[in-house]
Amino acid sequence: MSTSPATQRPVLGVFWMLVTGILFVGVTALVKYLGTDIPAPQAAFIRYALGLIFVIPMIRPILNARLTRRQWGLFTLRGLAHSAGVSLWFFAMARIPIADVTAMNYLSPIYVTIGAALFLGERLALRRVIAVVVALIGALIILRPGFREVGAGHMAMLLAAVVFGASYLLAKVLTDEVNAIVVVGMLSLWVTVGLAPMAASVWVPTDLHTIAVLFGVACLATSGHYTMTLAFRCAPLTVTQPVTFLQLVWAVLVGAVFFGEAVDPWVIVGGLVILGSVSFITWREAMLKRRAVTPAAPATKV
């Protein structure tokens, strides 16, 4: 979302991005709290099904949208891809430290950059190639294969970042053609549909406490996406993007204080390397005055 110089309010933009980071850490904390007691597809399905209450105001625009067969296909593809990404994220969140999930989520914008070059005709200049390579080095710093155990949770998060990147690219294409409200509403609907068969295949009895926690996840996630939109309205990504690093700080603190997770300095270093690369790509797009493609890390999960 672009902002004209006359309407830019960078301090307010930074504030709203700080709030966004706290809300998304709240999301991860609640999912971590649930742990492995409930299968990841089922937890993800319940979260999105409960979140459909926020889609009610979007129903009329969706019904009034004259979608082409191609657009229906893109919405379906995005919904199914995002369904897989959400399941992988829930799976990873229950098995690896919150800080690892947060740091590795920063990779999604890098995959968006690669995908934009491969599928949207974006020019991948040498500087951007170097930035991508640096970000992947950051991922290796976090994972440190051969020096630490790389489990199923880490592999799931790597795949989730790729899938979320693909989902964001499809959203960029659709936003050019369809009202943004329709894009958001259709995602919620399709992800719920896409998760339903996966959840049914692993369904276990669920109590009201679990449902209440997942409704809290839906509320925090929806609030986070809204405050992120407010941040983008107040300031450009070049201002708000670096602030997303603080989300990693909150994640480390929450993991250490509430879940007894050890503070791994390599995860923080790797997250910094990745975020620095993403911020550089964002800054280059702004300097070249191109239409922004690189999203903020949380945006890929919209």
Which residues of the chain are under the pLDDT cut of 50? 1, 6, 302
Q: What is the pLDDT of residues 68-115, one digit of tens each?
A: 999 999 999 999 999 999 999 999 999 999 999 999 999 999 999 999
Q: Give the per-residue pLDDT at 300.
A: 67
The pTM of the full predicted model, rounded to 2 decimals, is 0.90
Instruction: Tell me if 144 sits within 8 A of 170, measured CB to CB.
Output: no
Residues 6+ apart with CB under 8 A from 126: none
Q: Give the per-residue pLDDT at 6.
A: 46
Q: Give the per-residue pLDDT at 301.
A: 67
Helix axes 10-34, 245-259, angle to 10 degrees: 30
Q: Give the per-residue pLDDT at 241.
A: 84
Instruction: Tell me if 55 sits within 8 A of 188, measured CB to CB.
Output: yes
Instruction: Tell me if 112 sits within 8 A of 293, measured CB to CB.
Output: yes
Q: Give the per-residue pLDDT at 283.
A: 87
Distance between CA 289 and CA 113 in Å, rounded?
16
Buried b (16+ CB within 10 A) or exposed e, 210-229: beebbbbbbbbbbbbbebbb
